Amino acid sequence: MVDIDAAVGFVVAHGDAVDRARLSRLRTGAPPPPELLDDAEVGQALDGGWPPTLDGAVSSVDATCFRLSELDDLGALGRPAARRALDWLAARQLPDGGWEEDPALADVAPEWARPGDPEAGFHLTANAGFWLTVAGLDARAAGPLDHRVGGAYAGVVHAAAQSLVARLRPDGGWPSFLPGGWLSAAVLHRQEMFHEAARIQVILAERVPEMSPGDVAWLAATLRRVGIDGQDWLLGRARRRLAETQRSDGGWSSDDGHQFDVHTTLSAIRACR
């Protein structure tokens, strides 16, 4: 069983002020102070996206999705910064319903966001589609409130889902990196494309025993965020894997280095709520 108290202790001991505020909201719903939210939004470009580095000049789909995940934990997806970011993501959608990173970022983009790479394109489409799905009703950047999935971005999200489905293999496999599986499953689930989402989930369940702590925490937190019940069989397997990989200090190891262990641990806490 996951030791949530130990995980909380790890974040308190090793996280910064933003991390602790994310923890507080996840645990108690306490709103963070406005000045802390301002700190969490720092570095946003004038176009609404976030560059991959603080001194970057070109906004990145991948970096913007990462920042939205942090703001989500703070309950800040309805603030102006997040609304601008979501508008920017929506405007970056390609005619086929997908997303690609700006070619100007080719030298700095990680492999899962490399411009012109179809596998990276699938991942970015699933990631952008996910955040527009879950944030649309909160942000509703412009126009009347739209109660469809994705809110103000309903048409954008639907096109993203169609783009993802068109690229799935007959067995439910996806032509991309591992996270593209759970991100696309979440988008399709919210679009009520349950058959397509379930085929992906079967493959994910087979791979859970070999997943890293960071991946399984991200998977579970993603599916919980779109309303999949915590007693779902795939989420049950994910929690068992989290219990197996929790360290003695209460945290989980990130694939991206120890400096991201707190982020991974916060994802695990979200997944186990």
How far from each other are the two terminal CA atoms of the chain, in whole angstroms? 13
Amino acid type, 83: R
By the 8 A CB rule, do 154 and 148 touch?
yes
- Which residue has tokens 């779109």? 226
By the 8 A CB rule, do 161 and 136 touch?
no
* pLDDT tens sequence across 48-66: 999 998 888 899 999 999 9
SS3 50: strand
Region for residue 259 given its phi and psi (left: phi exceeds 0; alpha: psi -120 to 50; beta: otherwise): alpha
User: What CATH architecture does domain 41-210 belong to?
Assistant: Alpha/alpha barrel (1.50)
Amino acid type, 190: R
Residue 147 has pLDDT above 90, yes or no: no
By the 8 A CB rule, do 30 and 267 touch?
no
Integer Cα distance of 132 and 85 in angstroms: 10
Integer Cα distance of 162 and 158 in angstroms: 6
What proportion of the chain, given as a percentage, has pLDDT over 90? 74
Integer Cα distance of 228 and 163 in angstroms: 22
* pLDDT tens sequence across 75-114: 998 889 999 999 999 999 999 999 999 999 999 999 999 9
Picking from 66-70, 80-84, 119-123, 151-155, which range would have the lowest pLDDT averaged per residue?
Answer: 151-155
pLDDT score for 53 = 87
Taking CA atoms, 123 is separated from 127, 144, 146, 198, in Å, by: 6, 30, 26, 18
Instruction: Show me where the domains of the chain are located.
Output: 41-210
Whole-number average pLDDT of the chain: 91
Distance of CA 123 to the CA centre of its chain: 11
Indicate the pTM of the whole model.
0.91
Paired with 89 in beta bridges are none
The predicted model gives 110-137 an average pLDDT of: 93
By the 8 A CB rule, do 26 and 270 touch?
yes
* pLDDT tens sequence across 188-227: 999 999 999 999 999 999 999 999 999 999 999 999 999 8
By the 8 A CB rule, do 122 and 167 touch?
yes
* pLDDT tens sequence across 217-261: 999 999 999 989 888 999 999 999 999 999 999 999 998 889 999
